[in-house]
Amino acid sequence: MNTLLLYSLIGGVLSLVGGVLLLWKPTFTEKYMTALLGFGAGAFLAAAFMDILPEALQKLTEPQPIMIAVLSGFLGFFILERLLMRLFHMHNGPLVHSEHTESLPYLLILGDSFHNFLDGIVIGLATIAHPILGLPTALAVAAHELPQEMGDFSIMIRQGWSKKMVFGINILQSLLTIPGAYIGYYMGGVVEPYIPILLGVAAGIFIYIAATDILPELHHNSSHKYFFRVVIPTLLGVIFVSFFSSLERQ
């Protein structure tokens, strides 16, 4: 269980690195925002296709239920995001394009807290399915959260929040991956026969985040003339997570 706690901290707290850099090195993060978005998208796609889905497919002889679960996770998270956008008037992604109002930082905190909790559940499900899936999944979560946290930090700073307040609040909400991971872990233990389906749902969520949140933001924030600046970090995210997972399996 100490390993699960470590994975939870990696998935939550490690994602704050970008925000911390934004507080003290704003020019650095602005310069490499495109690369961070690409790496996050690649890492999430690799976690879904190279780690979670293969593990789920190995546990069932019939792939159709898992494919249905992937589609359910994808559509379910789409519906959830639309509900959050309706309730919180915010875009649940690395960057926010809605009008900046005084209440926006509080809405960001609510949305990200819920998102971090869901990330923890995914880490717990992956860990109980196979221990070696926990770390790559946690790294993929951190890679995805990295650019999103930087967007949140920048908005709160622009709203006049102090650096200590911004950092403290983001630390607290990042720690919500811990209860999420333990709930996912124990839920997986109780419904062990359904783990492949739950992993399929998690993979669908990962694909949704990469394909509909991060990659569109990557296109939006990068000029048409940039090719290698966009493609190479994305491929590095795929290679990093895939290679690390292959080493763990040896």
The 3-state DSSP class for residue 100 equals coil
Give me the pLDDT at residue 12, please.
Answer: 83
Spatial separation of the C-alpha atoms in residues 20 and 134, rounded to whole Å: 25
DSSP state of 99: P
Please count the CA atoms within 13 angstroms of the CA of 159 that sit on its side-chain side: 19
Q: Which of 119, 117, 148 is nearest to 47 (CA)?
A: 119
Q: How far apart are CA 207 and CA 203, in angstroms?
A: 6
3-state secondary structure of 28: helix
pTM score, whole prediction: 0.65
State the pLDDT at residue 44.
Answer: 80
Whether residue 200 contacts residue 56, with contact meaning beta carbons closer than 8 Å, is answered with yes
Tell me the C-alpha distance between 246 and 50, whole Å.
9
Nearest to 53 by CA among 126, 144, 124, 143: 126
In the prediction, which pLDDT does 210 show? 81
What pLDDT does residue 106 have?
Answer: 65
195-208 and 104-129 helices, crossing angle to 10°: 140
Give residue 66's pLDDT. Answer: 94
- C-alpha to C-alpha distances, 243 to 36, 83, 127, 199, 200, nearest whole angstrom: 19, 36, 18, 20, 21
Q: Which residues contact 145 (CB under 8 A, 6 or more apart)?
A: 11, 12, 15, 40, 116, 119, 174
Which string of b and e fits 45-60 if b means at least 16 CB within 10 Å? bbbbbbbbbbbbbeee
Q: Per-residue confidence of the chain (250 residues) as pLDDT tens digits?
A: 578 888 888 888 877 876 776 667 666 656 666 777 787 788 888 888 987 788 788 878 789 999 999 999 899 888 877 776 676 554 444 444 444 344 456 656 766 777 788 788 888 888 877 777 788 888 877 876 776 676 667 667 766 677 788 888 888 888 999 998 888 888 766 756 777 887 788 888 888 878 887 787 777 767 676 788 889 988 988 888 787 666 555 5
